[in-house]
Amino acid sequence: MTLRLESIELSLAGRQILPPTSLIVPAGHIMGLTAPSGAGKTSLLSIASLLQRPDAGCIIIDGIPIPAELATSKIPVAVRRNIGMLPQNPRNFADPRLTLAETITAPLAFRDGKSRPVPQRYQDQLLRLTDQVQLSKTLLGRFPSQVSDGQLQRALMARALSLDPKLILCDEPTSALDPTTTNAILSALRTKAAEGAAVLIASHDRNSLTRYCDAVLPLADLHQASIC
């Protein structure tokens, strides 16, 4: 699944955040995105994950164009389900009322038409996902307030991978992790790319990006870049 952003633009509160910006992440590749703090990495990932609408430009996912003006309700569910997003601030994103097991398996339950998470139905997937992100199974019954930032970050990574997405977007995925766990997470993403996913990682950790990514792209180089 290839991701293309074509001349996307974004302003917030009257200030231009992203001038026309273009990017391609081919299927089977893992790309790193770097920029100084406040330059717009999170904004770009939010747009690529269809959580935020750009002011202009086009997002093309697996050949399906999603122009800026397209109503959210018109975006095919199949496209949304193929996107896995790890947000920058796990504490803001995680539902404090759900255990880690419920958090990780919630997308599976909703896909299957359940109105609330039922982790007991997804034991095999839960074990596979926790292995992928090196999260101890003893933590699965705990709530977000009862685990560390790094443990919660890994639980949300497992959630992002739960539907086996073909486009994976990660915002600072290793910011709360030690070097060993960082390597495990980035290796898992590398494996996903090898299986055909397009992976985009925004991070300040340029060394890790250089080690694990096919290319590391400074955000400033993507402004005005033409990929057509």
Ligand X SMILES: Nc1ncnc2c1ncn2[C@@H]1O[C@H](COP(=O)(O)OP(=O)(O)OP(=O)(O)O)[C@@H](O)[C@H]1O
CA distance from start to end of the chain: 18
Q: Which of 21, 34, 42, 105 binds ligand X (CB under 6 A)?
A: 42
Mark residues 70-109: x for contact with ligand X by CB under 6 A, - for none.
------------------x---------------------
Number of residues that bind ligand X (CB under 6 A): 12
Phi/psi region, residue 138 (left: phi>0; alpha: psi -120 to 50; beta: rest), is: alpha
Q: Which is nearer to ligand X, 41 or 166 (CB)?
A: 41
Minimum separation from the CB atom of position 123 to ligand X (A) = 36
Q: Is 179 helix (H, G, I), strand (E, B) or coil?
A: helix
Minimum separation from the CB atom of position 35 to ligand X (A) = 5
Q: Are strands 30-34 and 215-218 parallel, antiparallel or unpaired?
A: parallel
Q: Which is nearer to ligand X, 7 or 43 (CB)?
A: 43
CA distance 102 to 198: 26
Minimum separation from the CB atom of position 44 to ligand X (A) = 7
Q: Which is nearer to ligand X, 125 or 203 (CB)?
A: 203
Q: Which of 4, 22, 30, 41 binds ligand X (CB under 6 A)?
A: 41
Judged by CB under 6 A, the stretch of 11-19, 72-80, 122-130, 191-199 that binds ligand X is 11-19
Judged by CB under 6 A, the stretch of 41-49, 52-60, 89-97, 98-106 that binds ligand X is 41-49
**Residue 173 interacting with ligand X (CB under 6 A):** no
Write out the binding residues for ligand X, residues 149-168 only, by CB under 6 A: none
User: Measuring CA to CA, which residue among 133, 173, 183 is closest to residue 32?
Assistant: 173
Minimum separation from the CB atom of position 48 to ligand X (A) = 12
CA distance 69 to 215: 31
Measured from the Cβ of residue 14, the count of other Cβ atoms closer than 10 Å reads 5
CA distance 115 to 228: 43
**Residue 32 interacting with ligand X (CB under 6 A):** no
Measured from the Cβ of residue 120, the count of other Cβ atoms closer than 10 Å reads 9
Residue 23, Cβ density class (10 Å: 0-12 exposed, 13-18 middle, ≥19 buried): buried
- The site for ligand X (CB under 6 A) is made up of 12-13, 17, 35, 37-43, 88
